[in-house]
Amino acid sequence: MIRLQKVEVKDRDLLWNINQKYLYEMTNYYDDPMDENGNYHYGHFDDYFTDPKRVAYFIYSDDNLAGFAMLNPYSNIEQEPDYTMAEFTIFPSYRRKHLALETARILLKKHPGKWEIKYNEKNNGAKKLWTALTETYSPEIHHLNEEETVLAFEV
């Protein structure tokens, strides 16, 4: 059973730590360097604890932390979405169990409105997930460049 738990200020360090692992994984697709402390830059991280328009969720499979999602309303394509999927991951040991698609559907149901989801074309798993999730919404497809695509749709 999938359960979303809103990330609170008291959970900041946990979110920071697992986001760092996610950002490391994203270096397969982006050339983001580590800083002198071995961390990856995430410019708006603290905003998830001060900006009421941003929300983050821990994703649980039964009682096990299986991933996280971070949402905000800031557009990648100069539109005015209600929600942008800023970050989303299911940890490797929970992948290929349909948790990502089911979780994404729960998030859309919890947050109806105008959405944007960006993915890297080299990330085949993300491309497959977001294409499957959005196909019933007939998304507008925006290519930011050769590597990044944004799906814009309404739930």
Per-position DSSP letters for the chain, written without gaps between them: -EEEEE--GGGHHHHHHHHHHHHHHHTTTS-PPB-TTS-B--TTGGGGGT-TT-EEEEEEETTEEEEEEEEE---SSSS--SEEEEEEEE-GGGTTSSHHHHHHHHHHHHS-SEEEEEEETT-HHHHHHHHHHHGGG--EEEESSSSEEEEEEE-
User: Looking at residue 61, which CATH number applies to its domain?
Assistant: 3.40.630.30
pLDDT of residue 104: 98
Domain tally, the chain? 1
pLDDT at 98: 86
- Reported as a pLDDT band with limits 50, 70 and 90, residue 76 is very high
Residue 96: predicted pLDDT: 86
Task: Kindly report the backbone phi and psi dihedral angles of residue 27, in degrees, each rounded to the nearest multiple of 5, phi listed first.
Answer: -70, -10
pLDDT of residue 31: 87
Tens-place pLDDT, residues 18-71 = 999 999 999 988 988 989 999 999 989 999 999 999 999 999 999 999 999 999
Cα dihedral 57, 60, 65, 71, rounded to 10, equals: -20
Confidence bin at 17 (pLDDT 50/70/90): very high
For the chain, how many helices (H) and strands (E)? 3, 7
Model pLDDT, residue 51? 97
Structural domain for 60, as ranges: 2-154
- Interval 88-143: pLDDT, tens: 999 999 998 889 999 999 999 999 999 999 999 999 999 999 999 999 999 999 99
What is residue 12's predicted lDDT score, i.e. its pLDDT? 98
Q: What is the pLDDT of residue 57?
A: 98
- Report d(CA 14, CA 11) in Å as an integer: 5
